Structures are given as structure tokens and as C-alpha cells.
Amino acid sequence: MNRVVSPCLRVFVVNAVLSGCSVKNQQIARIFDEIAELLELKGENVFRIRAYRRAAQNMDNLSKDVATLSEKELTDLPGIGKDLAGKIAEYLATGRIAKYEELKKDIPVGVLEMLKIPGLGPKKAKQFHDKLKIKSIDDLEKAIAAGTLKGMPGIQEKTVENIKKGISLIKRGTDRKPLGRVLPLAEDIVRRLKESGSAGKTEVAGSIRRRKETAGDIDILVTAESAEKVMEVFTNMPHVDRVLAKGDTKSSVITEEGIQVDLRVVPEESFGAALQYFTGNKEHNVRLREMAVRKGLKLNEYGVFKVPGEKRIGGRTEEEMYEALNLPFIPPELREDRGEIDAALAGTLPDLVSIGDIRGDLHVHTKMSDGSHDLETVVAAARKKGYEYIAVTDHTKGLGVAHGLDEKRLAEQCKLIDGLNEKTVGFRVLKGTEIDIRSDGRLDLSDQALSGLDIVVASIHSGFNQDREQIMKRLLAAVRHPCVSVIAHPTGRIIGERDAYDVDMEALLREAAKHGVAMEINAYPLRLDLNDRHALLAKQYGVPVAICTDMHVTGQFDFMHYGVSVARRGWLEKKDVLNTLPVGALLKRLRNCRKRDS
């Protein structure tokens, strides 16, 4: 499998770190993923490799703690047979899996690390290891510096360039963590603190509360009757690897995953002030404090005070802090000093879209390409989320690794969908496709195949390193194609793994506005693509946005809120987002082939 042209599959590998459900589930998922990689390195049977990948997905998607399942319940899980159930039981009983330890013996950990480098698959990693004795990323960097890679078969200058880029991307990615990793962890910690009975009010603050796409650390604020007790609980949580500091008002720990968590205990009457202060961002706070000074007030993490005499006028709630400055409450996602304070003063703050406004998901995969479930299962999960519709958008034939659909299989799927819609009330499945924009800009299916669809989502899955001119040629060709409704993950970035390809976003949006084509905010937590700034730009250009999960496993429907957060950070309102519309209005707004441009 070529890992670079297969973003959806590739993204799965990191799924294991995105679920906050159970530490055990995550650990087993991670081991299964690594076993799959080790088997791939050894060039073993693809079906076995796929079995481990699927099992990892399913472990990660499990809503229950695996340790609580009986043997029968285990083997009843999709993709878990006797053999894998045995391995899970072995891990639960002994904390290790012999097969995994055995595989690791033959392959240095550093080689496994190298697989995390974008642009470097198992084949090359094995080649470097066998031929050049490269055992780690450090070794690899040295070999690149010494120029020894270039002479190898199949390794061009461009390959080396890409590997170099990949290494720097990984190194950068280690200091800030993706929101999809820190938010579930933060919420898990909040739950533990509350359940212990030692914490009163408990909130996540900092960049996570603002839903920034990456975070430097986790900031948590609590009120407590006994600071000592809550600090005791905090520093003894199972995720804690090291305690950096333990005090009466502040403690800091590092988790096993290397994430710092700060816990602050604050007095009840200052909780709102502290929450406001530690939510930030810093520039937003500086602006507020300047405003306070001009009003003869003092604003800090303890409260808001009248200047002569220091009389407290607020601080118990965050609302009181903003009220003291004659401001309406500013949602945390807007607190980036991007004009939100002026908008608040002018009474023009946007009425931000919220998760409850979302009526359906327009980018969804099934088993017919690289999803995990059949249509019925996907629909049942969507209905359970309270949705009114989904669009099924499987990959197209050019994406062989994802078992993409050709015209014939797409027609079969459409029939299936028609059949399902006929016997369903109160839910509509839209016929769609995620059509591959080929490297020359042509679409991967005939116009005729597209003309019968309700929605065509177009996206790039190859040639990420092309120059701006070629990338734009492809994107603009897709936007101008009369059948295309939405451009999915328009910049192709994967946070901490792959930079965006070279998109001229304003040119893309200008053309999209002209043709009524929407842009996706892909809600997959490592994509978030469009990002918040692009979302704001889309609004300014009058381009509608669709917030979609790109789900491959039903649990990923739950990622929708990440996409909504990006939209909120981009100042989007309900009316800016297509999938807040009821299905009839949606179909009228969506551009598709039945309404050709004149």
C-alpha cells in the first residue's frame, strides 16, 4: 500500500490516539496498528495486515471498556475472531502480547518510528535498514546529510527532499498536540476530578476551550473544598507519567503521551475571572485589560475591581467580567483578537453555528470503498445521531487502495440507495461520490455517471507535491465542472503529518463563489480542512460551507463537533453552513448536474 496516496487509510493508523474512551482500548488499538506495520515491513500477507488494521479501528471505536467484555462478547465484535480475541485476553491478563514482542525483536523500534514520516512507507524503511543499516530517524537524517540515500535504487532527489520535509514536520508536530488528542484527554480528566468528589466547578480553559486546532498543554480550573484532596486525585491519575509540581493552588503533570496538564484551584468568587483569564488568548486579554483601565477598572484573574479602593464588582462568572466592560459574552472560539471585541462593542457579534444546527453529514464512506460498514449500518448510526440525511460518498476507481467504485459499482450502489429510500420514512440517503481529481485535473468518472447523483464531492488524493500552478489547475477544473457540488478537504493537510498542498485559497474561493460550489470543513480531527482562517475567508467570498466528518467507522460521526468548532472559530453562522438546511432546501442549494450552469 502506498501510504502517501491513501490519506483515508493513512489517517486510520493514527485513529488509535484520537479516542478518549478507554485507556486499554487505545493501548490495544495502538499495538494492533503497530503489528500491522511490522507485518507490512516483513512483507507479509495483506489480508492479515488488513485484519489487524480493522481490529485496531474496531477496538478504537468500541464504546465499552474492553476489559469488561466476556470472551463471547469479544468474538462477537466485528473483525475480532478467536485469534485476535485471544490476543486481547492475553494483553488484559499479562499486559503484553507475545506475538508483538516477537515481531519487534527482529525490527528496531527506530525503524517503526521512521514509518511515521510522511512519504516513507515500509518498503523504503526496510530498504534503508537492510542496505544502509539505518535504525532510527536520527540515522536517517545523518544519511541524508551525508548524501548516501540518493544513490539507492528508486530514490530520486525529490524523494530525499520529501523525506527531509517529512522529518521536520514530525519534529514540529511533537511540541503542539492536535485538538483531537488533547480534548478527549482533558474531558477524561475533568470527569475523573468530578467523580472523585474532590472538585466543585471544573472547566477546561486555555487554547482547548477556544478549540484551537493544536494545544501546547491542557489547562484545567477547579473550585474545591480541600485543595489538598483534589491535587492528590490529580497527581495520582492513571495517565500520569511524572509530577512536575504539586502545590496548594497549582499542580502540573506530564502524561504518558508527553502532554503537560496544569491544574489550578481557584476561589469560588474568582472562578469566572480565572476562567476568563486562563482561556485567553493573551492578546484578547490584553485588549480587555486596556479597556478596563480606560473605564477606571482593574481586571485580573481574581476579578474585576473599581480602581480607587479596589472594590470588587465581579468575578464569580465569566459573564460578569464582560458585563463590567459593557460587553456581551464573547464565545471562547472567537477570543483571538481578530476583531471580536470591536464586533462586541458594535453589537455585531455573529450568532455562531452550533452542533445542534447540523441536520446531516455530506461526506460518508461505506464498505463499498474503504469504510468499515454496510449502508444499513451507516444509516442506522446516522439516525441515532438524530440526523435527517446523509450523503454516501465513496471513493472512485482511481483510488485502488481504497477499493474505489467504477461507473458500474456506483450504479449498483445508487440502486441500493433508491431501494433503501423507498422503504424509509423520515430519513433520506443522498446518492453521491467522493470523486478523485486526477493529477491532470480530470475527474475520475464519466459525466454521465455523475449526472444522476444528488451530490458530487471532489477531492485530491495524489500529487500533493505538485507546484501551485498544477494544484490550482486541478482544483479550478473541479470547481468549473458542472456536476461538482463540494470540494472536500481543500488543502489536504494532515496536522503534524503532512503540510497543505500549495493552494491559492482566494483564487479558489473566487471561482467557487462564481459557480455556487461549496467548500468542506472536514471534521476529521487531524484534518480540520478548511481551517478556521479559510472558513472566515469563505464566508467573506460568499462561498457556502459543508461541515462533514468523512466518516469511515460509525464512531467517527462523533467528530462532527470538531468541524463545528472550526466553523465557529471562522465566525460562521447557521446560514453559512449547507448541512444545517432541511433536505429539500439543501438539494435546491447544492449545485449538481441536473442544474447545469448556463
Question: Taking CB under 5 A as the rule, does residue 550 contact Zn ion?
Answer: yes
The rounded distance, in Å, linking the Cα atoms of 71 and 292 is 63
Residue 282's binding partner, choosing from ligand DGT, Ca ion, Zn ion, none, with beta-carbon cut-off 5 to 8 A by kind?
ligand DGT
CB of 326 to Zn ion, least distance (A): 46
Residue 276 or 549: which CB sits closer to Zn ion?
Answer: 549
Angle, helices 505-515 vs 468-480, to 10°: value is 10
**Looking at beta carbons only, is 215 or 456 nearer to Zn ion?**
456
Q: C-beta of 309: minimal distance to Ca ion in Å?
A: 32
Task: Report the nearest approach of Ca ion to the CB of residue 333 (Å).
Answer: 15
Residue in 285, 372, 462, 556 binding ligand DGT, rule: CB under 6 A: 285
Instruction: Report d(CA 279, CA 273) in Å as an integer.
Output: 10
Cα–Cα distance between 422 and 431 in angstroms, integer? 13
What is 333-356 written as a DSSP string? GGTTTSSHHHHHHHT----B--GG
Binding window for Ca ion (CB under 5 A); candidates: 124-132, 218-226, 285-293, 581-589:
218-226
Specify the stretch interacting with ligand DGT by CB under 6 A; choose among 48-56, 71-79, 279-287, 446-454: 279-287
**Cα separation, 205 vs 114, whole angstroms:** 35
* Alpha-carbon gap, residue 17 to 564, rounded angstroms: 21
Any contact of residue 172 with ligand DGT (CB under 6 A)? no
Nearest residue (beta carbon) to Ca ion: 206
Query: Which positions from 183 to 212 touch ligand DGT by CB under 6 A, shown as an x/- string?
Result: -----------------------xx-----
Which has the closest alpha carbon to 130: 150, 99, 152? 152
Stretch that binds Ca ion, among 90-98, 130-138, 202-210, 464-472 (CB under 5 A): 202-210
What distance in Å separates the CA atoms of residue 23 and residue 558, rounded to the nearest whole number? Answer: 18
* 234 to 207, 279, 419: CA distances (angstroms): 20, 20, 54
Nearer to ligand DGT, 285 or 369 (CB): 285
Query: Which lies closer to ligand DGT via its Cβ, residue 218 or residue 378?
Result: 218
Q: Which residues are paired to 449 by β-bridges?
A: none
**Is 206 a binder of Ca ion (CB under 5 A)?**
yes
Print the SS3 string covering 122-190. Answer: HHHHHHHHHHHCCCCHHHHHHHHHHCCCCCCCCCCHHHHHHHHHHHHHHHHHCCCEEHHHHHHHHHHHH
Segment lying near Zn ion (by CB under 5 A), choices 195-203, 423-431, 440-448, 550-558: 550-558
Q: Which does 436 bind (CB under 5 to 8 A by kind): Zn ion, Ca ion, ligand DGT, none?
A: none
Q: Which is nearer to ligand DGT, 86 or 216 (CB)?
A: 216
The sign one gets for the Cα dihedral 47, 51, 56, 61 is positive
> Which of Zn ion, Ca ion, ligand DGT, none lies near 37, with the C-beta cut-off 5 to 8 A by kind?
none
User: Should residue 444 be labelled a site residue for Zn ion when binding is judged by CB under 5 A?
Assistant: no
What cell does 376 get?
444499513
| Chain residues 214-233 in contact with ligand DGT, contact rule CB under 6 A | 215-217, 219
**Residue with Cβ nearer ligand DGT (121 or 525):** 525
Between 37 and 550, CB nearer to Zn ion: 550
Asked whether position 178 contacts Ca ion by CB under 5 A, the answer is: no
| Nearest residue to ligand DGT, scored by beta-carbon proximity | 280
Is 31 or 273 the residue whose CB approaches ligand DGT more closely? 273
In the complex with ligand DGT, the residue whose CB is nearer, 136 or 281, is 281
Q: Any contact of residue 219 with Ca ion (CB under 5 A)?
A: yes
Using omega within 30 degrees of 0 as the cis cutoff, is the peptide bond preceding 530 cis? yes
Asked if 282 interacts with ligand DGT (CB under 6 A), we say yes
> Contact between 281 and ligand DGT (CB under 6 A)?
yes
Query: Which of Zn ion, Ca ion, ligand DGT, none does residue 280 bind (CB under 5 to 8 Å by kind)?
Result: ligand DGT
Angle at 416 between CA 412 and CA 421, to 5 degrees: 145
Would you give the binding string for Ca ion spanning residues 247-276, x where CB under 5 A is met? ---------------x--------------
Instruction: Decide: 401 and 1 in contact? Cβ < 8 Å.
Output: yes
Strands (E), 301-424: 303-306, 312-314, 360-364, 389-392
Contacted entry of Zn ion, Ca ion, ligand DGT, none for residue 434, CB cut-off 5 to 8 Å set by kind: Zn ion
Chosen residue from 234, 271, 278, 559 binding ligand DGT by CB under 6 A:
278
Q: Would you state the cell numbers that stand for residue 440, as one nine-digit string?
A: 491532470
Task: Evaluate whether 410 touches 449 at the Cβ level (below 8 Å).
Answer: yes
The angle at the Cα of 240, spanning 69 to 562, to the nearest 5 degrees, equals 70
Q: Which range touches Zn ion (CB under 5 A), out of 79-87, 305-313, 369-377, 549-557?
A: 549-557
Q: SS3 for 541?
A: coil
- Taking the C-alpha atoms of residue 77 and residue 74, their distance in angstroms, rounded to an integer, is 6
Write out the residues near ligand DGT by the rule CB under 6 A: 206-207, 215-217, 219, 277-278, 280-282, 285-286
